[in-house]
Amino acid sequence: MNVYICTDLEGVCGVFRWEQTREYGTPANVEARRLLMGEVNAAVAGAFDAGAARVVVRDGHNGAKSFLPEELDERAEMIMGLTSRYDDVTKEGFDAAILLGYHAMSHTQGGVLCHTQSSVGWNNYWINDRLAGEIAQSAIMLGAQGIPVVMVTGDDKTCAEARDWLGDGVVTVEVKKGLSREGALMLAPKKARALIREGAREAVANAPVAAPFRPEFPLRIRWQYKDSLVVDRYRGEAEVIDPYTIERLVADPADILAP
């Protein structure tokens, strides 16, 4: 059993303000990344508790430079840096994926640091007329490679969004309750890590019966930006819906993020 863990920063316990996630290298950002590493290691431990042979963790937050390498559990491997999400590593064969530290889609009421892809540039994103966020995007891209998402962690809205898209079979670990976009009722980080370890153990143990998320392609994807300049300058195949919005049919799962 090989396990692939995709990470983000906004959904980690103790992370609740943009200062922690947007500004790189500040004390607030380093604190957030240390909290991330604690949750990464908890998920790694849970996966090995369940008998995983190999665990690879992907740094998924802005620029993929958020891990503190020295802190990684030595049984795991990590992917950092600017790579395609369809890098050769996922092709090495994984049986289950965990989405760790994820956040709810754009404009989720009370969703801590909620956004879809870019909290600065993107407004909304739809898949076949259904509002979607990064959980659906990750699940589709992993699913296309035959890898089921077996667990999602983040705030309560993130967990609800995960069950909404992936069904009640997905293990969700709620590490905080969103009170606003920059405020949360949170567990102690140590408690969050204990729940994540237990959740990962259960999720990986049940992975053999989990199904990859595989909606039928082509998908009709709609991107809505915050600045009409993005659409003004766009020269691709997509149809312009309004000054902020473009839409196109996407046939290849690797193309669902970019028009």
Q: What's the rounded Cα separation, in Å, for the pair 152 and 102?
A: 7
CB under 8 Å, gap of 24 or more: what pairs does 144-147 form?
144/212, 144/214, 144/253, 144/254, 145/86, 145/90, 145/91, 145/94, 145/212, 146/212, 147/4, 147/90, 147/94, 147/95, 147/96, 147/97, 147/212
Give 28's DSSP letter.
Answer: H
Nearer to Zn ion, 10 or 59 (CB): 10
Tokens matching residue 30: 């380093």
Tokens matching residue 86: 């369809």
Nearer to Zn ion, 8 or 156 (CB): 8
Nearer to Zn ion, 103 or 197 (CB): 103
The distance of closest approach from Cβ of residue 45 to Zn ion in the complex, given in angstroms and rounded to an integer, is 23
Nearer to Zn ion, 33 or 222 (CB): 33
- Among residues 133, 105, 121, 125, the alpha carbon closest in space to that of 227 is found at 121
Q: What's the rounded Cα separation, in Å, for the pair 187 and 249?
A: 42
The distance of closest approach from Cβ of residue 148 to Zn ion in the complex, given in angstroms and rounded to an integer, is 22
Pairing mode of beta strands 171-180, 183-186: antiparallel
Strand, helix or coil for residue 222: strand
The distance of closest approach from Cβ of residue 236 to Zn ion in the complex, given in angstroms and rounded to an integer, is 25
The distance of closest approach from Cβ of residue 61 to Zn ion in the complex, given in angstroms and rounded to an integer, is 4
- Among residues 228, 224, 218, the alpha carbon closest in space to that of 246 is found at 224
C-alpha 104: how far from its chain's center? 9
> Interface with Zn ion by CB under 5 A: which residues?
8-10, 61
Nearer to Zn ion, 59 or 95 (CB): 59
The distance of closest approach from Cβ of residue 188 to Zn ion in the complex, given in angstroms and rounded to an integer, is 23
The distance of closest approach from Cβ of residue 101 to Zn ion in the complex, given in angstroms and rounded to an integer, is 8
- Among residues 132, 130, 145, the alpha carbon closest in space to that of 97 is found at 145
Nearer to Zn ion, 36 or 45 (CB): 36
Determine the residue with CB nearest Zn ion: 61
The distance of closest approach from Cβ of residue 9 to Zn ion in the complex, given in angstroms and rounded to an integer, is 5
Nearer to Zn ion, 31 or 92 (CB): 31
